[in-house]
Each structure stands twice: as C-alpha cells, then as structure tokens.
Structure 1
Amino acid sequence: MTSTPLDVAKLYVSERGRIWRLVQRIVRNQAVADDLVQDSFVNLLGAASKSGNVQDERSYLSRIARNLAIDQKRRERETLTLEDAGIFAMADPIPSAEQVLADRQALKLTFDAMASLPERTRRALEMHRLGECTLAEIGRTLGVSTAQAGRLVLSGYSVVRDRLREAGA
C-alpha cells in the first residue's frame, strides 16, 4: 500500500491512542510518550516517502513506536538523573575519623588472617586478589590443578571473611 501524507494523517487519527498506550507502558512518562508517538508517525511518513510502499502500516507503526520507546529507556538507564547527581554531590569525599579507624582495623584483621593461612593458601589468595591471576595461572605457579587452586583461594577468602565477621568488621 502506498502511503501518502493524507493516509498517515488518517492513520494518526485512528491509531494515536493505541500507539500512545503501547509507548506509555514502556517509558512510563506521559510527556516522553507524547514525543515518541509523534516521532513514530514522522518515521512512518519518512519510510513511506523513501520506499513508497509500506505493506502493513499499523504493524510497521507499532514496531517503530516500540523500538523508539525501548531506545529511550536504554538512554535513560545510561545517564544519571539530576537526583542521582545531587546525591553524589552531597557525599563527603573525605571519610570520617571513625571510618578511617574502622578501615584500618579491618585491614589489620585481614593481614593477620592472611598471615595465619598455610603458605600455599596464602600465596593462592594473594595471587588471586592482589596479583589478579586466573585460577589456571595460580595452579601452574603452585604446581596444582586449577580446581585445587580454586579451593585454595576459596579457603583463604573464607578464613578472612570469618575473622572479619568475628570481629564485627
């Protein structure tokens, strides 16, 4: 079916409400939904003028509107809102004296827990956490299987976690 501006105008009158509800369900914002409905019809008109032939205008229009709404939601997720930016601006970049002391105590507990580990377990944990080595690399270095390297790392993490929990950190 060849779409003319008059055909699109008639389609607008008959389909605007349906398309608006479709878009509104996705974006959850009336003003944005209004804009996206307008954009959908403009895109339909552009596609009709380029190709001169759109087979099923209602379906094509629905697809355009849905795609525009989904793209809008993606853009919203990728950008910080002004509220979010305000929250970050309120945060004090300098930790309090209490926080510094608590962090130092937790770090000391972590070092003490690591020092109490068997040599291979401690090395595996250090290589994984500090050296960012893969389990396969740890296994090769320590002369154990990858699975055993994973068990050593897990064991080390468990000891450190338990010590921190015991201390309430």
Structure 2
Amino acid sequence: MTDSVHLACLYMKDRPGLRRFLTRMTGSLGMADDLIQDAFSRVLEKEGGMAGVRDPRAYLRRSARTLRSTR
C-alpha cells in the first residue's frame, strides 16, 4: 500500500474520532476541522510520510495539539 493510500485510509477511519477529540479540546468544530486538515497536510509534506510512525493515531493527535498551541 502506498503512503498516500495509507494516509487516505487513515483519514477516513480516524477523522471522526480525531474531530470529536479536537472539538472537545478547542470548543470549536471549525477549529477542530482546521487542525485536522493542518495535521494531515503536515504528514503529506513530511519527508518519508508515515514511515517509521508506530502509532499514526497518536502521531496525528500530537500534531494537532502542537498546531493548536501555535495559534
């Protein structure tokens, strides 16, 4: 499975849970959606993509938290 296909599957599978998590954390559905988009965009831009990431769900949550702290 290519990295982009793997990432698309991950997005479809984990987006709802990540969205709930981020909506609770931020209090804003719009901000949660922005953070999800930014977190996945970061992975796409990252050299090597998800290679070497043991827990993609945790990686995305951590990325979203980091992005939130920069806003």
1:6-85 counterparts in 2 under 5 A? 6-47=5-46, 50-52=47-49, 53-56=51-54, 57-72=56-71
Q: Letter of the aligned partner of 1:26 in structure 2? A: M
Gaps of 5+ in 2: none
Partners in 1 of 2:2 and 2:22 — Cα distance?
A: 23
Q: Could you tell me whether the CA contact under 8 Å between 1:20 and 1:34 is conserved in 2?
A: yes
Partners in 1 of 2:2 and 2:65 — Cα distance?
A: 20
TM-score by length of 2: 0.78
Q: Label 1:22 to 1:54 Cα distance change in 2 as closer, same or farther (>3 A).
A: farther
Partners in 1 of 2:3 and 2:59 — Cα distance?
A: 15
1:42 is displaced (CA, Å) by 1.0
1:51 is displaced (CA, Å) by 3.0
Q: Label 1:3 to 1:39 Cα distance change in 2 as closer, same or farther (>3 A).
A: farther
Runs of 4+ more than 2 Å apart? 69-72
Partners in 2 of 1:14 and 1:23 — Cα distance?
A: 16
Higher Rg of the two aligned structures: 1
1:29 is displaced (CA, Å) by 1.0
Q: Could you tell me whether the CA contact under 8 Å between 1:22 and 1:66 is conserved in 2?
A: no
Q: Deviations over 1:24-63 (max 9, x none)?
A: 122111111111111111112222xx03523222221111
Q: Letter of the aligned partner of 2:67 in structure 1? A: L
Greater relative contact order, per chain length (Cα 8 Å cut-off, separation 6+): 2
Gaps of 5+ in 1: 73-169
Q: Label 1:69 to 1:21 Cα distance change in 2 as closer, same or farther (>3 A).
A: farther
